[in-house]
Amino acid sequence: MTTTTTPTTFPSNRAVSPGISLKLGIALFVGFVCLCLSAVSVEQIFETRLKVLHEALRETQNLARSLALHADGTISTADAVLIGLRDRVATDGTGAKALDQLKMQMRVQAEADPSLHGLFVIDENGRWLANTSAGTSPDVNYADRDFFIHARDHLDNAPFIGAPVRSRTDGSWLLTISRRLSHPDGSFAGVVLASISMDLFQQFYGRFDVGPHGSIALANDDGVLIVRHPYEEANIGLDISHGGFFSTANVMDQAGSVEFKSVLDREVRMASFERVKRYHVVVVVTHQKDDVLAAWRGRSQAALTLLCLVIVLVTALGYHLCSQVDERSKAEAQYRLLAENASDAIICVNSEGERSYVSPSFSAMTGWTPAELAGMRRHDMVFTDDQAAIDDVLGGLDAGDASPTCRYRHFTKGRGLIWVEMRARAAAAKRDGVLDYILNIRDISTQKLAEEELAEANAELSAMTLSDALTGISNRRNFDQTLRREWRRAMRNARPLALLMIDADHFKAYNDRYGHVLGDECLKLIAQLLAAGVRRAGDVVARYGGEEFAAILPDLTAEKAAIVAERMRMSLVEAAIAHDGNTDGIVTVSIGVASLVPGRGLEPRELIALADEALYRAKEDGRNRVVVVEPIREVRTMLAAG
């Protein structure tokens, strides 16, 4: 590549046609600018409005998700106590000695968990056998309560969240969680009941700022309001299923956002909800739309005022420009070109590699003086691996590309390599039959570094949001996403999808005996052994919650999935982790296996319910075993039950 001292010749601009008044052209230009400013400002105002609404929804979505986790954790803690009480009654009966021991256990658990208002064991006639509420009259009968009626009339062992009730001992509002007691022959034997004070939720919800007219509500799937912040006692137990949020949103979805008119205050509200599926309750967080848009309206008015001032200034400037009608168009265009490109390096080079012009900013960028640049060729300045990128850009110009760009690494004097962005365009005319290229070069090293750091941060964030913080395997969020994705794929391909629900046997006893620190280490080891039990890239093992795990096995029938489950179970047995609180003296797991081919009318929750049922049977049959459900019969039973 050779250099010359020939000055750069830029293509001349056409002068304005003498038949068109320059003043008219300026007036049209000013009008066009004002119109564009108005259009851009109005567009930005409405874009800002959408962003404000979007941010408000994102805020309510995040808060609803957090509050749903709080509700799930609070209820599941009480439910875990009920399961223990139910098993204790089923094992020891309700004799005098057994009741004394049961009462002692209930007192210990109530004192250990401040969220529990009371624990009750109620017989089949509605009278309590044991409770933790001091001063409860022996004549109190609970046969009229909805939790008692539900347990009496339903054979399932699922937890039941009742409508809000007033305590018959202290008059406070309570949320009840109950489970059915059954005689050995399966007949109704009573209810185990835990109550949680509404004040626990009210105090927790009161910590969050949802605006002057926002609200936080917890309701069941039937639309009965359990608790609402801000608190009004008249709202407790109110049926809001007709109209408002429940007529707008599909609360059977896991989560969502809607806009609706409240049945309580008739105001338009923006709401996000998160459903706690296993307890059939939904958390709803709302903002009043007028509150969300109040600040936006003020800013919009200020922006419109500023726009009017700018239009006045632009009009005045246009009037001033009309007095400069004798300035030459070409000089004006050349001045604009120089002003717009002053901060970038500009090089004029022809297709034979001869540089006819190099702007001073190129020397400032690279550190080389004009004299040093005179004897340098392109391969002396550009990193070898990036030479082809420049050839492609210049080739694109020859092929008719208007303004191709590329990024490459450029050598400098004393600073090593820098990243630059080059934009090329062809000159309007050839000189001596050779086409000139005008290259606009900008240093983007700082931008490139920021892009790389952002990419690394995004990758780390993505990994964190999909992994369980304790065990390192997939978390519940990744499990839900994977199950939905694999469900759709299996439905498209008419292939089976298997699911394993895995529970560490008597793990509460492990924590009680060895402590939560060793309990966490044990959970990590269990997760590692379970993850090692799958051998295909598409299989996913996730922590489902607490000591419960799940495995998604695409394209496997129940029989083949049972082989994988048995391999997992045996890996725990062979590991022989000491557990004095377990029947076998070591850590074991119970596994429920289900597999089906997704079809019309089925949802992923049916597969989860099947696997949960199998897990329940495995624990009922003695734990440390694998149980496979009969999918066809089970699915038909669930569909028939509605």
pLDDT at 633: 46
pLDDT at 431: 59
What mean pLDDT is predicted for residues 124-146?
Answer: 83
pLDDT at 436 over 80: no
Q: Smallest Cα–Cα separation from 345: which of 335, 355, 353, 354?
A: 355
CA 315: distance to chain centroid?
A: 49
Q: Which of 18-27, 302-311, 626-635 has the highest mean pLDDT?
A: 302-311
CA distance 505 to 592: 13
Q: Are residues 307 and 396 in the same domain?
A: no
Q: Which of 104-113, 305-314, 625-634 has the highest mean pLDDT?
A: 305-314
Question: Is 398 within the bounds of a domain?
Answer: yes
Here the CATH number for the domain that contains residue 474 is 3.30.70.270
Q: Are residues 124 and 245 in the same domain?
A: yes
Range of the domain at 281: 19-326
Contact 206, 229 (CB under 8 A): yes
What element of type H or E holds 28? helix 22-92
Contact 417, 409 (CB under 8 A): yes
Lowest mean pLDDT among 286-290, 303-307, 527-531, 580-584: 286-290
Both structure tokens of 277: 């599926």
pLDDT at 636: 45
Helix or strand or coil: residue 35? helix
User: What percentage of the chain's residues is helix, strand, coil (to nearest 5)?
Assistant: 45, 25, 30
pLDDT confidence of 319, banded at 50, 70, 90?
confident
Given its phi and psi angles, is residue 76 left (phi above 0), alpha (psi -120 to 50 degrees) or beta? alpha
Q: Are residues 223 and 304 in the same domain?
A: yes
Percent over 70 (pLDDT), the chain: 87
Given its phi and psi angles, is residue 534 left (phi above 0), alpha (psi -120 to 50 degrees) or beta? beta
pLDDT at 249: 74
Q: Are residues 131 and 91 in the same domain?
A: yes
pLDDT at 381: 79
pLDDT at 389 over 90: no
CA distance 531 to 548: 14
Q: Which residue shows structure tokens 């439910």?
A: 79
* Distance in angstroms between the alpha carbons of the first and the last residue of the chain: 81
pLDDT at 597: 95
Here the CATH number for the domain that contains residue 405 is 3.30.450.20
What mean pLDDT is predicted for residues 16-45?
Answer: 79
Lowest mean pLDDT among 42-56, 481-495, 499-513: 42-56
Question: Is 233 within the bounds of a domain?
Answer: yes
DSSP 268-326: EEEEEEEEEGGGTEEEEEEEEHHHHHHHHHHHHHHHHHHHHHHHHHHHHHHHHHHTTTT
CA distance 494 to 488: 10
Question: Is 455 within the bounds of a domain?
Answer: no
Lowest mean pLDDT among 462-471, 501-510, 591-600: 462-471
Q: Are residues 506 and 624 in the same domain?
A: yes
CA distances from 582 to 105, 511, 565 (A): 19, 12, 20
Question: Is 453 within the bounds of a domain?
Answer: no
The angle that helices 631-640 and 604-620 make with each other, rounded to 10 degrees, is 110
Q: Name the H helices within 93-197.
A: 96-112, 146-153
Query: Burial level of 576, CB count in 10 A (0-12/13-18/19+)?
Result: exposed
Task: Spell out the residues 6+ positions from residue 362 whose beta carbon is closer than 8 angstroms to its own.
Answer: 345, 346, 347, 373, 441
CA distance 619 to 589: 9
Percent over 90 (pLDDT), the chain: 26
Helix or strand or coil: residue 260? strand
Provide Rg for the chain, Cα atoms: 36
Q: Are residues 26 and 158 in the same domain?
A: yes
Q: Which of 448, 476, 499 is the last residue of a domain?
A: 448
What mean pLDDT is predicted for residues 88-106?
Answer: 86
pLDDT confidence of 457, banded at 50, 70, 90?
low
Q: Which residue shows structure tokens 């329940």?
A: 616
Residue 160's DSSP bridge partners are: 178
Q: Are residues 90 and 217 in the same domain?
A: yes
Q: What is the DSSP letter of 628?
A: E
Q: Are residues 351 and 430 in the same domain?
A: yes
pLDDT at 590: 96
Q: Which residue shows structure tokens 């717009």?
A: 340
What mean pLDDT is predicted for residues 240-268?
Answer: 78
What mean pLDDT is predicted for residues 483-511?
Answer: 95
547 is catalytic: yes
Residue type, 623: R
Q: Are residues 492 and 570 in the same domain?
A: yes
Contact 164, 83 (CB under 8 A): no
What mean pLDDT is predicted for residues 349-372?
Answer: 76
> Considering the chain, what is the average pLDDT of its residues?
83
Question: Is 61 within the bounds of a domain?
Answer: yes
Q: Name the H helices within 323-444.
A: 329-340, 360-366, 370-374, 378-381, 387-398
Summarised one tens digit per residue, pLDDT across range 546-556 is 999 999 999 99
Question: Is 189 within the bounds of a domain?
Answer: yes
Strands 589-596 and 626-628: parallel
| Annotated active-site residue in 274, 547, 606, 613 | 547
Question: Is 458 within the bounds of a domain?
Answer: no
pLDDT at 403: 73
Residue 467's DSSP bridge partners are: 474
Question: Is 300 within the bounds of a domain?
Answer: yes
Pick the more confident residue, 433 or 481: 481
* Torsion angle in degrees (nearest 10) through CA of 70, 75, 77, 82: 180
Q: Which of 448, 480, 503 is the last residue of a domain?
A: 448
What is the number of domains present in the chain? 3
Number of residues that make up the chain: 642
pTM exceeding the 0.85 threshold for the entire prediction: no
What element of type H or E holds 62? helix 22-92
Q: Are residues 256 and 364 in the same domain?
A: no
What mean pLDDT is predicted for residues 452-474?
Answer: 75
CA distance 504 to 588: 6
Query: Burial level of 455, CB count in 10 A (0-12/13-18/19+)?
Result: exposed
Sign of the CA dihedral with 563 first, then 564, 570, and 574 last: positive
CA distance 555 to 577: 32
pLDDT at 611 over 90: yes
Q: Are residues 99 and 190 in the same domain?
A: yes
pLDDT at 361 over 70: yes
pLDDT at 19: 43
pLDDT at 556: 95
Contact 227, 217 (CB under 8 A): yes
Q: Are residues 125 and 90 in the same domain?
A: yes
